[in-house]
Amino acid sequence: MEERVDEAQGTLEKAMIPLLGDDNVAEEKARKTKRKIWMETKKLWRIVGPAIFTRVSTYSIFIITQAFAGHLGELELAAISIVNNVIVGFNYGLLLGMATALETLCGQAFGAKKYAKLGVYLQRSWIVLFLCSILLLPTYFFTSPILKFFGQSDDIAELSGTVAVWAIPAHFSFAFFFPINRFLQSQLKNMVIAISSGVALVVHIFVCWLFVYVLKLGVIGTIATANLSWWLNVFILFTYTTCGGCPLTWTGFSVEAFTRLWEFTKLSASSGIMLCLENWYYRILIVMTGNLQDPKIAVDSMSICMLINGLETMIPLAFFAGTSVRVANELGAGNGEKARFAMIISVIQSLIIGIILSVLVVFLHNQIGWIFSSSEAVMKAVNNLSILLAFTILLNSVYPVLSGAAVGSGWQSVVAYINLGCYYFIGLPLGFVMGWVFNTGVKGIWAGMIFGGTAIQTFILIFITMRCDWEKEAQKATLRLENWQVSDAKKLKMIS
C-alpha cells in the first residue's frame, strides 16, 4: 500500500513539473510584454509629450486671437472665426499636410542613419512650400467675394476680407515653420520645438493685451499679433538648426536641394491632400452654417465648438506625429513588427485620452462657451452642440493616429482617396440632407458629417492597418531610400 502511495506521489510531482514550467514561461512572457509596452511608451511619449505642448501652444495662438476678438463684439468674433477657421485654416492645413512628407522621408532616413539627407529634404520642402504659398495668395485677396459667393452675409464677408489681408505674413511663416518642425521632430528634438512654441505663446498673450486693450487697435490688432508670434517661432527654430543645433543633419545650404523637386512636390501634394481633406471637412461646416437663419449666432457657436475640437485634436495630432516618426524610424531600420507594435500602443493610449476628454465635455457642457463669448444666445447654442462635440472628440482620438501610421509608411495617396470618398461623397451630402432637407439645422449638418464621413473613414483605416504586411513595408522603405540616394547622386553630378 505504501509503495502505491509513493508511486502516486512521484507521478503527481512529475506531472506538476511541466505545469510549473508552463507557469514560469507564461510569467516570463508577461514580463517581456510589459517591458516592451513600457519601452515603446517611453519612446512614444518622448515625441508625444513635447508635441502636445507644441501643438497646443501654436493652436492657442488662434484661440487667444479669437478670444480677444470675441469680447470686441459678435461681428468681430464672426469675422475672425471665418478667417481663422476657413481662409487661414484651409491654407494652414494644406501647407501642414505638404510638410508631412518630411515625416516619411526624414523619419525613414534617420532610422536608416543616413543623416545628411535630412538637411537636403528640409531645404526642398522650404522651396516647394514657399512656391505653394505664393499660389495660395488669391484666397486672401478675394476673401470677401468668395464668402459672399457661398452665402455669407455682407457685413461678415467685408470685415473678414479686411482681416484676411492682414493675415498674409502669418501665411508665409507656415511655409518655413512646418518643414523645420518636422525636420527636428524626426530627430527626436521635440523639446526644442516645445520651448520655442512656449516662448511664442507668452509673447502672443502679452502683445494681444497690448494691441487690443492698451493701443485700442481693434480686430486688426488681434490678427497682427498672430503674425509676430508665428515669425518669432520660425526665427527661433531656424537659428537653432543653422547655428549648430543639428551638426549631423544640417551641413549648410546645398544645391542638391534643387534636384528632384517634382518628385518631392508629388509626395508633398499627396501628404497635403490627405491632411487637407480632413482639415477642410469641418472648416466647410462653418461655411455651411453661415447660410442658416441667424448666421452670426450659428457661425459663432459652431466656430467655438470647432476651436475646442481643434484644441483637443492637438493631442491625437501629437500621437499622429509620434506614430509617424516611430513607424518611419522602425521601417527605415528594417523592423516591420516593431513598427506595427508602435502603432498599436499609440492607438490605445490616444483612445483612452479621447474617452476621458469626451466625458469631460459632456459634464462641462454648460461652461465651455463662456471663454469665447459673453452672449447668452451663443453660449446656449454651444451647449446644444456639446454631445456632438463629444462624439467628434472620441473619433478624433483614433483616425489621426492611424493616419500617422500611413504617413510613416508612405501611404499618403491611399489615405487621400479614402478621405475624399468618405468625407466629400458620403459625409457632406448626408450633412446637407439632414441639415436642410430634414430642417435640423447645425445639429443635423454636423451629425451627418460625423456619422456619414468620419466614422466610416475610421473603420476603413482600422481595416487597412490590421491587414497590412509590416515586414513588406520595411522592405519597401529600405528600397525607397536606396533609390532616392542613387538618383540624387546622379542628378547632382549632372548639375555640377
Cα separation, 385 vs 383, whole angstroms: 5
Residue partners of 167: CB distance under 8 A and separation at least 6: 83, 87, 88, 140, 223, 226, 227
Q: Which residue has the higher pLDDT, 442 or 225?
A: 225
Using alpha carbons only, give the angle 475, 486, 111 rounded to the nearest 5 degrees.
Answer: 45
State pLDDT tens for residues 188-208. Answer: 888 899 999 999 999 999 998
| Residue 216 pLDDT exceeds 70 | yes
pLDDT at 444: 83
Q: Are 60 and 201 in contact (CB under 8 A)?
A: yes
Q: Of all residues in the chain, what percent carry a pLDDT higher than 90?
A: 17
| Domain membership flag for residue 36 | no
Residues ≥6 apart with Cβ < 8 Å to 176? 126, 129, 130, 234, 238
Q: Is pLDDT larger for residue 480 or for residue 432? A: 432
Whether this prediction's pTM lies above 0.85 is answered by no
Task: Look at residue 41 and tell me if it is in a domain.
Answer: no
Average pLDDT, the chain: 81
In a domain, 28, yes or no: no
Structural domain contains residue 23: no
Read off the pLDDT band of 238 (50, 70, 90).
very high
38 within domain boundaries: no
b (16+ CB within 10 A) / e for 176-186? bbbbbbbbbbb
Tell me: pLDDT of 132 over 50. yes
**37 within a domain of the structure (yes/no):** no
> Could you tell me the pLDDT band of residue 496, with boundaries at 50, 70 and 90?
very low
Residue 317 burial (CB < 10 Å; 0-12/13-18/19+)? buried
d(CA 119, CA 252): 8
Q: Which amino acid belongs to residue 115?
A: Y
Residue 457 lies in a domain: yes
Give residue 458's domain range.
46-495
Q: What are phi and psi of 397, to 5 degrees?
A: -80, -10
Q: What are 317-335's pLDDT values in tens digits?
A: 888 888 888 888 888 778 8
Residue 66 within a domain: yes
Give Dmax (Cα) for the chain. 105
d(CA 428, CA 452): 8
pLDDT digits 0-9 by tens, 384-436? 888 888 888 998 899 888 888 877 777 777 887 888 888 888 888 888 888 77
Give the pLDDT confidence score for residue 384 in this predicted structure. Answer: 83
Number of domains present in the structure of the chain: 1
